[in-house]
Amino acid sequence: MEEQKFATKYIDLHLHLDGAVTTEIARELARLQGISLPEDDKELLKRLTVPDDCESLNDFLECFALPLSLMQTKEGLSEAVRLVADACKAQGVIYAELRYAPQLHCDQGMTQEEAVQAALDGISKTDLKVNLILCCMRGEGNEDANEETLRLAKKYLVEDGGVVAIDIAGAEALFPTANYRELFAKAKELGIPFTIHAGEADGAKSVKLALEYGARRIGHGVRSFEDPEVIQLLKEKQIPMEMCPTSNRQTHAVEDMSAYPFMEYFRQGLKVTLNTDDPGIEGTTLAREFRYMEQTFGLTPAGERVLLENSVEAAFTTEKVKEWLRSELGLNK
């Protein structure tokens, strides 16, 4: 029998555009738009990446100001999408669902719709196979902006090659999932598929609500273990979980990484997938996340095959693309 090998090709289902800006990408975007950045690379890296003393998701989210400031024009946003997608491809990613919140790109007069069109322009210029997830944002006073994101998701929704779903990102502990029941009821009514960041900074109850609303996938879901009933629900419904270990360590979603539940969820038959979240901010890549799980948690080549099969199944795309992915990943053998 042929010896099974560790993965060299990957799928990233949970990847934030603003969190994927590296120093190289930041410099390119700044040059293009005549924006000045710290000249010292170390200083720039410090401003772009999460500090060692990051204590929570709230601290982590402060790192997004600089990358967002480089994506406030159509040109900057489109080019950011292309550069991030190209960088993923160079690291072995063959399919990515890139998410971003159009409402965070309107500081200099761009409308959300223009921000959607700019990102679509960006994906047309990369060789990576990419679909877009539009994020609504947790917060206060942005109800209209979230409604607009929903409207645009419906308007631009396709089965592949563009906007394929929505999500909600931001500070989960401060603005709980319970506040967004109506938003997701509308998304369901409009037939827009959605994933929800849940069980990351807030507990298992957040995951339970996301499932009740009809989420097709859960962003993170790492704290689901806090309620065995939620684990049972995830298992019965086989809802894919978009897990992102380095992000979870840095945001302290779990305090003790030696008890990180990734392998436990996997053994229990939950539909786990492995993703990056914010590779620029975290200083990681998807290949590194796979090596991290191998070296620290004993993930095997056979385990990786199951993870990749889960990612293919969970992807918001057509059966045709999924067949192509299976063949690229050698999953048909």
Both tokens assigned to 97: 């669902």
- Kindly tell me which of 143 and 229 has the beta carbon lying closer to ligand ADE: 143
Q: Do the Cβ atoms of 44 and 71 come closer than 8 Å?
A: no
Among 79, 277, 282, 304, binds ligand ADE (CB under 6 A): 277
Which of residues 66, 150, 169, 192 is near ligand ADE by CB under 6 A? 169
Is residue 247 part of the contact set for ligand ADE (CB under 6 A)? yes
Say whether residue 57 binds ligand ADE (CB under 6 A): yes
Among candidates 281, 273, 323, 326, which has minimal Cα distance to 299? Answer: 273
**Dihedral over alpha carbons 303, 311, 6, 50 (to 10 degrees):** -100
277 binds Zn ion (CB under 5 A): yes
Minimum CB separation of residue 113 from ligand ADE in Å reads: 22
Which CB atom, from 172 or from 304, has the smaller least distance to Zn ion?
172
Q: Is 223 in the site for ligand ADE (CB under 6 A)?
A: no
Site for ligand ADE in 172-211 (CB under 6 A): 197, 200
Closest residue to bound ligand ADE by CB = 169
The contacts of residue 212 (CB under 8 Å, 6+ apart) are: none
Is 97 one of the binding residues for Zn ion (CB under 5 A)? no
Closer CB to Zn ion, 79 or 277, in the complex: 277
What are the backbone dihedrals phi and psi of residue 197, each rounded to the nearest 5 degrees, phi first? Answer: -65, 115
Applying CB under 6 A, which of residues 170, 199, 240, 261 lies at the interface with ligand ADE?
170
Write the CB contacts of 201 (distance below 8 Å, at least 6 apart in sequence).
56, 57, 58, 171, 172, 173, 251, 253
Structure tokens at 322: 């999924």
CB of 330 to Zn ion, least distance (A): 28
Exposed, middle or buried: residue 235 (CB in 10 Å: 0-12, 13-18, 19+)? middle
> Which residue lies nearer to Zn ion by CB, 60 or 213?
60
CB of 45 to ligand ADE, least distance (A): 18
Q: Is 249 exposed, middle or buried (0-12, 13-18, 19+ CB in 10 A)?
A: middle
Separation CA 323–CA 74 (nearest Å): 34
**234-273 footprint of Zn ion as x/- string (CB under 5 A):** ----------------------------------------
Q: Check the CA dihedral 257-66-290-236 and report its sign.
A: positive
Q: Is 304 an interacting residue with respect to Zn ion (CB under 5 A)? A: no
Pick between residue 57 and residue 187 the one whose CB is nearest to ligand ADE. Answer: 57
CB of 112 to ligand ADE, least distance (A): 17
Q: Which is nearer to ligand ADE, 25 or 312 (CB)?
A: 25
Site of tokens 């086989």? 238
Cβ proximity to Zn ion, 18 vs 277, nearer residue: 277
Q: Which of 19, 102, 193, 245 binds ligand ADE (CB under 6 A)?
A: 19
> Residues touching Zn ion: how many (CB under 5 A)?
1
304 is an interface residue for ligand ADE by CB under 6 A? no
Residues 6+ apart with CB under 8 A from 93: 9, 10, 11, 12, 128, 286
Phi, psi of 168 (to 5 degrees): -130, 130
Catalytic residues: 200
Q: Distance between CA atoms of 194 and 199, rounded to whole angstroms?
A: 16
The residues of the shown chain that bind ligand ADE, judged by CB under 6 A, are 16, 19, 57, 169-170, 197, 200, 247, 277-278
Q: Which residues bind Zn ion (CB under 5 A)?
A: 277
